[in-house]
Chains A and B, each alone.
Chain A
């Protein structure tokens, strides 16, 4: 149980294009989803918290116009990297939680984004 699916697993695109990453909770309803970014040999950095039906809350230093987050349903959140540039290349990971006490976050397998 508690499976989180992330798609695509990797993407390569040209500078200036926009890329959408999907995060789905397959067997539970996720009231809250989180988006992280991870650079090589570094820890996960929280980018934003996404609650179903409301605007995402971004961490300090994360550009909300660059990283658009939509949490349209209890099982789907999307992250769109707009006008991507090489410095946006990274490993993006989502997680989902039922938002109850004693219910941990469950993570997707990440999306490797490479901007040429």
Chain B
């Protein structure tokens, strides 16, 4: 299973764009990259998933370079409610591949 490395914490202010980068040097050919958000005392919530290039949905964008050894989650115009821990995971969902959580990035959004 590919190991991921993220910054432990980040600070931002309301209205700013936040980019969180994750390194996954040992990513395998079949692995997808998935980002989750977790609030205290809640289960992780799916944010976005991608395999290569760029993926965008209503809440975030995911940028994946050609070598796929890293990925960047981009949150446009964050608000106080975006304060949470963000996890980057790499895994193969074919036949229910398991995921190993790293330490995640604790994002603090200030007014």
The stretch that binds A, out of B19-27, B37-45, B70-78, is: B37-45
Known contacts: A95-B43, A110-B42. The answer to whether A105 contacts B99 by CB under 8 A is: yes
Distance in Å: Cβ of A97 to nearest Cβ of chain B: 5
A101 pairs with B93, CB closer than 8 A: yes
How big is chain A's contact interface, by range?
20 to 34
The verdict on A84 contacting chain B, using a C-beta distance below 8 Å, is no
Q: Would you call the interface of chain A mostly helix, strand, loop, or mixed?
A: strand
A32 pairs with B96, CB closer than 8 A: yes
Tell me, in angstroms, the Cα distance from A74 to B25 when the chains sit together.
Answer: 35
A103 pairs with B43, CB closer than 8 A: no
B46, B93, B99: the one contacting A102 at CB < 8 Å is B93
Q: List residues of B whose CB falls within 8 A of some A CB.
A: 30, 32, 34, 36, 41-46, 49, 51, 87, 92-96, 98-104
